[in-house]
Each structure stands twice: as C-alpha cells, then as structure tokens.
Chains A and B, each alone.
Chain A
Amino acid sequence: MKKKSTYIISVILSVFLVFGLLGSAAAVLAYTSVSAGSCISLAKKNSVPAKIQTELSRHYSEKYNSSGIPANVYMDVLSESYLTDVMEVYINSGFDALENDGTFVAAMPKNQALEDSIDKFFNNYADEIGYEKDAAFEKKLNETKSNAYSLIGSYSDVYKLSAMSSHGVLAKLSKLYRHKALLMADALGFTAIILLLLMLVNIRERRTVLYWTGICSVIAGVLGLIPCIWLTATKYYNSFTIKQPQVFTAFTGMLYRLTALMTALLAVLTVAGIILVIIYALTRDKEEKHQQPAPVISENH
C-alpha cells in the first residue's frame, strides 16, 4: 500500500466489493432457500396443517349461530392430510405462477366425503322441516359446497399467494424470480470482477489483495450480521400483523429461517475475512524479516 493512488483506488474498489459480497450472499440464499419445496417442508415442520384445521374448526363453530350448520358437518371429514394436500397445491401453484407470468391457478383437490356430509345434512334438515327440495334448495346446497371449498382454500393458502396474485404482487415478483439464477450469476460475477480489478491495481504487491479481500469480507459480514442478530434477538417478526395463526406461523417461520441462514452465511464470511487478514499479516511479517539486511560482523583480530 505504498502508492497513494493505489491505496485510494483500492479503497473505492473495496466499497464495491463489500456491496458485491452482500449482494452475492443474498442472491445465493434466495436461489437455494426460496422454493416451493422449502416452503412446504418448513410449513409441515411448524405444524401449519394442524393450525389450519384448528382455525377452520373455530370458524365453523363460531358461524353456527348464523349458518345453522354444525361445525362437525365439515370438521368430521376434513383430515389434516387433506388440508396438507390443499396447502401444497396452493404453494406449488404460487411458485408455478412465479416461474411463469404471475397468473395464479390452483386446482382445489376434491373432497367427496365433505360433499357427501353437506348433502346429508341439508337433506336431513329439509326432511325434518318438510322443506321442498326445489331449485332454490339445490342452489343453496351447491353454494354451501362451493363456499366450503373456497374457505378451506383461503385458510390453507398460508403464504397468501392467491391474495398476492390478485393484487398484482406475484406478477411483479415473477419478473425477479424467473431470473434468480441469472441474478445470482450476475452478483457473483460482479464480485469476481471487482476482485480481479483489485488484483490488477495491486499487481506490484499482490499479497495486499488478501488484506483488501479480508477486510471487505469482515465488513460485509459484520454489517449484515448486526441487523440479522437484532431481528432474531428482538423477535421482530412476531409483530407481523396478520392474525390468522396458520398464516402468521408460515410467514414468520420462513422469515426466521431465512434470517438464520443469512446469519450463518455472514458469520462464515466474517470468519473467512479474519483468516485472510491473519494470513496477510503473517506472510507480511515473514517477508519483512527476509528483507532485513544481514548483521555486519567486524573482523578485528
């Protein structure tokens, strides 16, 4: 770092390198951890289907006074495995939309037992009160089945992907998601180019590239770790405003997981940076000792 101009250019390139390292870490994380498979496995791990079942049961129990349909008409036939299937359909459809043009289409799995249960209740009720099973009756029956599927779908859409689609958010996100591999390559490529430039600028003292890369890794690691540790320590995501427990659990579970992965990645970056700086310091000391002039021994006999 003997020449001023070399030093200044290296400092400027280091600023870019820090951003490059942070961007690369985020891109790698998004590429490897944001997928339908990871969302589904995380939701299962956090028992989200069980929460969907509990919330549906609560909803139908609360609605009994207005609808007159006992909750068990629905809940006796809505198994956790069926709700898991519905949840998976919505997540897979959401990610399909992200990989295409953002158009969300979810084919709700049919539940014959549910339809039969609703048919049975309505027919028994109509027979009890002597209600004529006319066109209005059939219309009400079909409406009830359709509303049941619609509600189950809405409760099982734990990442609110259909809502995001209807608000145009999925279409905007799909423009990024479709090209996530390219974005990752761009971020890594940018970082590599900055490193190459650092090497070229410090061609007379190539060893100093270890120093610059080391401090940039440490700076990027520490600057990223501070907010990640704060978010985890303060349980910031617990203030997420959506009150439905299954949606809350799915979203916050995903956010905490991504934060934990980012923390780990940045910790590795920090440690790698420290190691590079230590190597630079040790090799620099060795070289300085080699360069020291040999002691002169006078010959006086």
Chain B
Amino acid sequence: MKDKKSSAMLHVLTPFIVTLLVVGAAVLAMIKPSDKLKVYFNLAFMDDLKTDPTTAGSGLVIRQNEIIEDYSGETSSTGDVIRPQFGEMYAHLSGSSLSLTIPVYWGTNPELLEMGACQSGGSKLPGEGGNTVISAHEDTYFSELSSVKPGDTITINTNYGEFVYTVSETISFVRTDKRYLQPTEDSRLTLYTCKKDVLSSSDERIGVVCTLTEAKFYTGGEQ
C-alpha cells in the first residue's frame, strides 16, 4: 500500500520536475542571446500600448510644450536661452505673410518633420547669436514659404523670449550647397524647404534669410 502511494506521488511529481528542468535549461541557454533579442524585439514592437499602426512610435521622445505668446512682463534685449532637448517643441514661428503658426522642434528627423518645422541641432537658438536654421516640408508647414518676400517679418516665440526678424533676401540652392546653413557672426534666421515645380530637380531648395530686428528676452518682472 505504501509502495503504491509513493509510486502514485512519483507519477504526479515527475511532470513538474521535468518542467522545471526544461524551463531552467531554456533560461540558461537564453542568457547570452537575450540582450540582442531584446533589442530586436524592442525595435520591431516598440509600442507598449499596442495601439493602431498610425500611433505606433519609433522610440523618439517627442515633447510638446505650451509656448508663451502673450507675455506681458518685463523684457530685455539681452538674456539667456533655454536649450531644448532633441524632439522637444520649443517655439512657434509665424509671419506677416504666413497664415499658419508653425510649431518648431529641436532636431531634424522624418518623424519630427511630420509634426512641424525642425531646427538643425547644430545651428544657434534664436537669441543666441549666429545662424538659426529651420526647415520644413514644402507640402505642409512651409507650403507658403515661396510667397515670403524681402521686407516681410517672421516672429519666433519661445518660452524665454520673442524674436522678430525681417526677411532680407530670398535664396535658392542645391541640396549639397551648404553655404546658407553655415554658422555666421551676425544673428540671422534661415528658413528653407524643397522647391515645388514639375520640371525642377528634387535637389533644389528655396528659402529666405532674415535679419534679427528685435529681441525680447523675458525677465519675469511685471510691467
């Protein structure tokens, strides 16, 4: 009777013993490749919320901010900039001949270009001195750029100040020509996009160069 009982116990316990051994062996075997597999799985299936494909992310952290546009406190013509992070919406761009207020993101990549204008990470922030270079798609945010002409004003609102530029010249260059995108001594704003024309090359760029005419850094005091 005792033998029968212990035999029955063994028959019941054995599957659990085998399962533990199998799982243990699998875990040991996966220790080395698991890191690499984790990277591939994270890249392939990055949206933890398992939403539909139009909202699936790429891993880039995009930060939206409320941009101050009706500041009524004290201002100064000099001040400090607040450096944004890659993927952060840090400014609004508007113009006397633009019907849109365009969000401006720090850094350039295809995902950010779908959401607004992008400032080249290597260029200077408005108010920092030097060349501020901003680009956007010609069929969305910069669709009206070709109608901007010398004398028009462009305003950039950030959370550290408001900067007004006046268009000094319209420009046209090929993609490989970097002269308008280089750092400069003077404070300027360079806006550019692709040229739209059936018979033109897709390598052509058009844009405007603007001179800083007014800088108002927010100092925080009440007027």
Contacts and interface: CB of A to CB of B under 8 A. Distances in A.
A245 B18 contact: no
Given A11-B17, A68-B197, A239 B22 contact: no
B25 A234 contact: no
B22 A223 contact: yes
B88 interface: no
A32 interface: no
Nearest to A141: B199
Interface in A115-145: 122, 125-126, 131, 136-137, 140
Interface stretch (B49-57, B152-160, B165-173): B49-57
B198 A238 contact: no
B27 interface: no
Contacts of A223: 19, 22-23
Interface string B43-75: 111111111111011100000000000000000
Given A66-B139, A223-B19, A215 B53 contact: no
Contacts of B17: 11
B96 interface: no
A1 B12 CA distance: 13
Contacts of B19: 219, 223
A67 interface: yes
Name the interface size band of chain B.
35 or more
B60 to A, nearest CB: 11
Interface stretch (A13-21, A83-91, A189-197): A13-21
B194 interface: yes
A18 B22 contact: yes
Contacts of A66: 137-139, 194, 196, 202
B199 A137 contact: yes
Contacts of A215: 14-15, 18
B18 A68 contact: no
Contacts of A63: 139
B21 A241 contact: no
A1 B11 CA distance: 9
B43 A241 contact: yes
B217 to A, nearest CB: 37
A67 B43 CA distance: 33
B86 to A, nearest CB: 19
A240 interface: yes
A155 interface: no
A18 B25 CA distance: 11
Interface string A256-272: 00000000000000000
Nearest to A122: B198
B120 interface: no
Interface in A169-221: 211, 215-216, 218-219
A239 B46 contact: yes
A201 to B, nearest CB: 14
Contacts of B52: 238
A211 B11 contact: yes
Given A1-B10, A63-B139, A234-B50, A240 B45 contact: yes
**Max chain A C-beta neighbours (<10 A), residue from B15, B52, B143:** B15
B213 interface: no
B51 A1 contact: no
Contacts of B11: 1, 211
Given A126-B199, A219-B15, A223-B23, 14 more contacts: A15-B21, A15-B22, A18-B22, A65-B139, A122-B198, A211-B11, A223-B22, A236-B45, A237-B45, A238-B47, A238-B51, A239-B45, A239-B49, A240-B45
Interface of B: 7, 10-11, 14-15, 17-19, 21-23, 25, 43-54, 56-58, 137-139, 143, 194, 196-199, 202
30 contacts: A11-B18, A15-B22, A18-B22, A63-B139, A65-B138, A65-B139, A66-B137, A66-B139, A66-B202, A67-B196, A67-B198, A68-B196, A69-B198, A122-B198, A125-B198, A131-B199, A137-B199, A140-B199, A215-B14, A219-B15, A219-B19, A219-B22, A238-B52, A239-B46, A239-B56, A240-B44, A241-B58, A244-B53, A245-B53, A248-B53
Closest 10 interchain pairs by CB?
A: A68-B198, A65-B139, A239-B47, A248-B53, A215-B15, A239-B50, A239-B45, A66-B196, A238-B50, A66-B138
